[in-house]
A = this chain, B = another copy of it.
Amino acid sequence: MNLTVSEENYIKAIFHLQQAEGNVSTNQLAASLHTKPASVTDMLKKLTHKSLLEYEPYQGVRLGKEGKKQALSIVRKHRLWEFFLVDKLQFGWDEVHDVAEELEHISSKKLVDKLDAYLGFPKFDPHGDPIPDSNGIMATIRQFNLIDVKPKVVVEVCSVGSQSAELLELLRHKNIGIGTELQIIRKFEFDHSVEISVKNKPTITISQQLAQALFVKLV
């Protein structure tokens, strides 16, 4: 099954939009891929013909078994390359996404598996997202949205809700990253902002939007 770069990008986008179960809509895909709904319809037909998708006109789409397998392979490559860029080449975690977006399409399976070994079989990428192993299996950790955590509970940031440059810039400014330990001091009803305390630092206040973009685990 040889896929073009475009086909791979569609498969990956469906994978990411298709949380839990439920179908992904044409418009969602068009927005996520910065393309037009008409183009999406064309591609969905093609990928369905290749037995990668389950698609009914007007009813949205979901990945089939083979599509899921392909998606995991692309995600694996994306996250391994991100890890490589940060761990070996000293990129910042906020700079790696676009480069990985290209590297994920390099096709050699041998390359990916050797890279994995060279990196020491990492389980999470620099954004805290789990890296599928060569069988497509990835670690799952109980993670919570920071906005839902009770005050006083000590937690550690383990992933972020998006890879947007804006979010990562803000986190860098506030000195928050994957692995940062913190606890909620109090929540403000008015704007749902949250006062937090990062280990050994003065407390700071973060917006509702930022708290919703942070995922944490218990320490």
Query: In the assembled complex, which residues on chain B have CB atoms less than 8 Å from the CB atom of A108?
Result: 98-99, 102
The answer to whether A58 has its CB under 8 Å from any CB of chain B is no
B106 and A102: CB pair below 8 A?
Answer: yes
The answer to whether A90 has its CB under 8 Å from any CB of chain B is yes
**Cα distance A90–B114 in the bound complex, in angstroms:** 8
**Cα distance A85–B113 in the bound complex, in angstroms:** 12
The answer to whether A115 has its CB under 8 Å from any CB of chain B is yes
Candidates B91, B98, B115; contact of A89 at CB < 8 Å: B115
Query: In the assembled complex, which residues on chain B have CB atoms less than 8 Å from the CB atom of A98?
Result: 108
Between-chain CB contacts (< 8 Å), 20 pairs: A85-B111, A88-B118, A89-B111, A89-B114, A89-B115, A89-B118, A90-B114, A91-B110, A91-B114, A95-B110, A98-B108, A99-B106, A99-B108, A99-B110, A99-B111, A102-B106, A102-B107, A102-B108, A103-B106, A106-B106
Chain A residue total in the interface (Cβ 8 A): 18
Whose C-beta in chain B lies nearest to the C-beta of A108?
Answer: B99
Q: Interface on A for B, CB 8 Å cutoff? A: 85, 88-91, 95, 98-99, 102-103, 106-108, 110-111, 114-115, 118
How many copies the complex holds: the figure is 2
**Cα distance A98–B110 in the bound complex, in angstroms:** 12
A1 CB → nearest B CB, Å: 17
Query: In the assembled complex, which residues on chain B have CB atoms less than 8 Å from the CB atom of A115?
Result: 89
Query: In the assembled complex, which residues on chain B have CB atoms less than 8 Å from the CB atom of A88?
Result: 118
A13 CB → nearest B CB, Å: 21
Whose C-beta in chain B lies nearest to the C-beta of A85?
Answer: B111
Query: In the assembled complex, which residues on chain B have CB atoms less than 8 Å from the CB atom of A103?
Result: 106
Known: A89-B111, A89-B114. 18 other contacts (CB 8 A): A85-B111, A88-B118, A89-B115, A89-B118, A90-B114, A91-B110, A91-B114, A95-B110, A98-B108, A99-B106, A99-B108, A99-B110, A99-B111, A102-B106, A102-B107, A102-B108, A103-B106, A106-B106
A119 CB → nearest B CB, Å: 10
A94 CB → nearest B CB, Å: 13
A206 CB → nearest B CB, Å: 30
